[in-house]
Structures are given as structure tokens and as C-alpha cells.
Amino acid sequence: MGKNHYFEKSFPPKRIKGVDYILKHYLEGTEISKEDKRIKFILDDPYAPEMELIKGVYVIYKKAILELLEGRIRSINSYEFNSTKKKNRTISDEDIEYVLETATIVVLASENGQILTTYFIAGSGEKLNSILNLCLGYSKDLESNEFKVSLQNFIDDIEVVKQMGLLEEIIVK
């Protein structure tokens, strides 16, 4: 009971604004309009949220960040991350279409307009799922026996994000 209470208190569902900050500040994502024609094919994916629920679309394209999300770089605190990050270049909005082939696109959605209720990822970055799953928050449903696997996945996500050096940015203190 104590551990689950910790999860519930430490990982409430995050507001879209909070996830926006994580994506822009820590993952150096560039926000792009959901109406932008260059990403129409991504939002047409059957798994993408409905347009009216979408509250933000982000392009993550910097090499150090992508390698972190793919697991090739272990942590934001590592030498590999920092040396790769120094070589990153920022692109302009006009250049976004050139990086879409290699970039990871993140779509945030909310059923109530405030709290993250679902997300969609196009591109690589398996560890991004762990970050966003924690942003969705801990649910009491995870405590029932039928969701034991989901609870273990949540615990695994905490460990993945901790190893990446980003847990402190997600946890509510």
C-alpha cells in the first residue's frame, strides 16, 4: 500500500503545460501547428488522436536527444550526451520538413483540454514512451490483479526515466 500511495502522490496526471515544458526544455522539441501541411500524413495515422483533442505537436530532431530516446546514449548526465549535444544545430521553422524523415514527432492530446490523457509518437524513441507514460500519471486501476503487468510496466518506466536522468523533472515533489 505504501509504495502505491507514493506512486499516486508522486505521479499524478500532468497538465499539458507541464508536458510541453518537458518536451521543449529537456528534449529540445520544436512545437509545430497541428494544421501544418508538412505533418498531415502523420496526423492521418489511424492511431493518432482526433484533431479536436490535440493540444500540441512537437518535432524532436536533435541527434543527442534522439540517441538518448533510442537508448544509444544512457543519460543526459553522460559524457556522450554532452559531447553530442555540443555538435547539435538548431533549425528554423522552414527547415523542419527536411528533418521530418529522421525526427520523432510527439502529439499530445487531452479530453478535457488541461490534463494529458493520450499521446502519439511517430518515429523512433522507445524511451519517450516511458517519459510520457509517467506524465499520464499513476492510476488506481494499476493496483488490481488484472493490471499487475501494467503496474510492473509503470515501475519499469520509472527506472528507465531515472536512468535517463529525467525522473526529477517528472516527479511531483
pLDDT digits over 133-171, tens only? 999 998 877 777 666 778 889 999 999 999 999 999 888
Is the per-residue pLDDT at 119 higher than 90? Answer: yes
Secondary structure E strands in the chain: 30-32, 54-60, 104-109, 118-122
More confident residue, 137 or 100: 137
Average pLDDT over every residue of 50-68: 93
What pLDDT, on the 0 to 100 scale, is given for residue 63? 87
Distance CA 139, CA 18 (A): 18
Instruction: Give the residue with greater pLDDT, 126 vs 29.
Output: 29
Least confident window among 2-11, 59-68, 121-130, 161-170: 2-11
Question: How much is the pLDDT for 127?
Answer: 94
Q: How far is CA 153 from the centre of its chain?
A: 16
- Long-range own/partner contacts, residues 109-117 (CB < 8 A, 24 or more apart): 109/49, 109/50, 109/53, 109/54, 109/55, 110/16, 110/53, 110/55, 111/53, 113/16, 113/55, 114/15, 114/16, 115/13, 115/14, 115/15, 115/16, 116/13, 116/14, 116/15, 116/16, 116/19, 117/13, 117/53
Mean pLDDT of the chain: 87
Q: Given this model, what pLDDT does residue 129 score?
A: 94
Q: Does pTM top 0.85 for this prediction?
A: yes
What are the pLDDT digits (tens) for 62-99? 889 999 999 999 999 999 998 888 877 666 555 666 66
Percent of the chain beyond pLDDT 70? 88
Determine the Cα–Cα distance for residues 59 and 149; give it in Å rounded to an integer: 31
What is the pLDDT at residue 1?
45
